[in-house]
Homo-oligomer: A and B are copies of this chain.
Amino acid sequence: MPEQPNVAPVRGMRDLLPPECELRDWAVGRILDVYRRFGFARIETPALEHLALLTGGQGGENEKLIFKVLKRGEKLDLAAAQSEEDLSDEGLRFDLTVPLARYYAANQAALPQPFKAIQIGSVFRAERPQKGRFRQFTQCDIDVIGEAGEVAEIELILATTEALAALGLSGFTVRLNDRRVLRAIAAALGVGEATQQDKLFIALDKLDKLGVEGVLKEAAPLLPTLEASERLRELLAAGSGSELVAQLSEREPSLRAASGAVDAIVAVLEPLLAAVARVEFDSTLVRGMGYYTGPIFEISMEGAPGSIAGGGRYDRMIGRMLGREVPACGFSIGFERVIGLLTERGAKAPRAGACFALLYEPGVDSLQRVMAEAAARRGAVEGNTVAVFARRRKVGKQLDDLEKAGFDCVLTLPAGNGPPEEKWLSGAASG
């Protein structure tokens, strides 16, 4: 016997079974519906991008995780190849934001102004595989390009909160900060140089993981004085409070200006979201990506640690490709996280009609009659499902299997030309 091939998916990737796909399709449909009703429009970019684009410094740590595609034909000179650059000039996208910036630069003449984009698609990162983390996963982003004012942040946050609510989730907290607030705080603590500030933000971003003392330890080498360390401790202890920001801003006018933008967004959102979400200024919120330039925000949910959506303003990324500055702001739902939460809670995609199994006797029932009856029942109610199965010898076992598979009713054809006989399965609502 020949050797059996390896039938497992490639390392770190996965096959999706029918119930998983059904839930995901339903969630995508709900999210798309909300986003479209806010005036966003879906776009798609290729899975592959030029490596020069993917390694342009906007992807942070993700740039180390790129799946690179081997050059082909004459472009591939194996004997002369000295480095990976000689072997590859395209790679699989690791996020949807870097491709979006390229897309906007390439297609701006055909796009409305401002441009409100939806992207839902696969991204690829060659991370060390671990539970719940996959090397191919779905991202779900909306972005507003060409709007400098806070109306962009406000629409993104309203639309994303409503999309999450449309999935049946609740108990949201929207937390906001501003990269300029963080820079002003860093300056107030005596850390003036931008790359040093970035290191301080990376330390702050670990507050969830390391706690206050851990962050202080990591930040200490960056801070010029012990007094600065004490001020940082106060800030971290205050958590989401804005009092300390108010105090610090006495000394640092840029902090007052920056926090004003967040205050304005919070003031608009609070009453609009009162029924579904708390909205708060959190001066310790950092967000990982280096490209943010202004407001940053996250949504978290009661009973679910961490965040389920995150985003912010990145006014300079598109300028790097286009040669002129274009303001941009985006918000991303943690799609895999949200699907995980829905699955834990036993969420199921609702069905429109009933689900019928039509059993026939192979060689006895005419397939033409079988198919005609299936079509009639399918058409009788919008959304009815009718699947046709050969009757097995052990009908009892077959009925059990069909019930487990989610069928509501079994149809069989009587001798003669009468209508199908119905047998509603227990647990199903009868006709």
Chain A positions 14-37 with a Cβ under 8 Å from a chain B Cβ:
14-18, 21-22, 25, 29, 32, 36-37
Pick the residue among B2, B106, B271, B401 that contacts A368 (CB under 8 A). B271
**Smallest CB–CB gap between A27 and chain B, Å?**
13
Q: Tell me the A384-399 residues at the B interface (CB within 8 Å).
A: 384-390
Q: Which of A18, A68, A272, A372 counts the most B-chain CB atoms under 10 A from its CB?
A: A18
Question: Which of chain B's residues have a CB closer than 8 A to the CB of A387?
Answer: 38-39, 116
* Per-residue contact bits, chain A 20-62, to B (CB 8 Å; 1 contact, 0 not): 0110010001001000111101111111111011001000000
Complex: A13 Cα to B68 Cα, angstroms? 16
A371 at the interface (CB under 8 A from B): yes
B45 touches A9 (CB 8 A): yes
State whether A39 touches B272 (Cβ < 8 A): no
Q: Is A424 an interface residue (CB 8 A)?
A: no
Question: Measured between alpha carbons, how far is A389 from B49 in the docked complex, in Å?
Answer: 32
> CB-CB < 8 A to A107: which residues of B?
15, 17
Q: Is the CB of A158 within 8 A of B375?
A: yes
A122: chain B residues at CB < 8 Å are 47
**A371 contacts across to B, CB distance below 8 A:** 154-155, 158, 268, 272
Whether A47 pairs with B136 at a CB distance below 8 angstroms is: yes
Q: Does A321 make an interface contact (CB < 8 A)?
A: yes
Instruction: Out of B53, B84, B117, B384, name the residue touching A5 (CB < 8 Å).
Output: B53
**A111→B371 CA distance, assembly (Å):** 24
Tell me if A339 counts as interface (CB < 8 A to partner B).
no
Residue of B nearest to A272 (CB): B371
CB-based contact A21/B5 at 8 Å: no
Interface string of A72-114 (1 = CB under 8 A from B): 1000101001111001101010000000001101110011101
A interface secondary structure, majority: mixed
Interface membership of A63, Cβ < 8 A: no
A124 within 8 A of B: yes
A383 interface contact, C-beta 8 A: yes
A interface residues, tally (CB under 8 Å): 104
Q: Contacts of A390 on B, CB cut-off 8 Å?
A: 147, 149, 151
Residue contact A45 to B15, C-beta cutoff 8 Å: yes
Whole-angstrom distance between the Cβ of A42 and the nearest chain B Cβ: 4
Q: Which of A338-380 contact B (CB under 8 A)?
A: 353, 357, 360, 362, 366-368, 370-372, 375, 378
Q: Find out whether the CB atom of A52 lies under 8 angstroms from the CB atom of B388.
A: no
Inter-chain CA distance A291–B41, complex, in Å, is 41
Question: Which residue of A68, A375, A388 has the most chain B CB atoms within 10 A of its CB atom?
Answer: A388
Q: Looking across the interface, which residue of chain B has its beta carbon closest to that of A117? A: B18
A388 near B72 with CB under 8 A, answer no
30 contacts between A and B (CB under 8 A): A4-B322, A5-B50, A5-B53, A6-B53, A7-B53, A9-B45, A9-B102, A15-B45, A15-B107, A17-B111, A18-B43, A21-B43, A21-B44, A22-B42, A25-B32, A37-B353, A37-B378, A37-B385, A38-B378, A39-B357, A39-B385, A67-B70, A67-B72, A69-B69, A69-B70, A70-B87, A78-B81, A154-B367, A158-B375, A272-B368
15 extra interface residue pairs, beta carbon distance < 8 Å, beyond A37-B386, A272-B375: A7-B321, A9-B106, A10-B48, A10-B50, A14-B46, A16-B45, A38-B387, A48-B124, A69-B92, A70-B88, A112-B405, A151-B360, A158-B371, A271-B368, A272-B368
Nearest 3 CB-CB pairs, A to B?
A39-B387, A18-B41, A13-B46
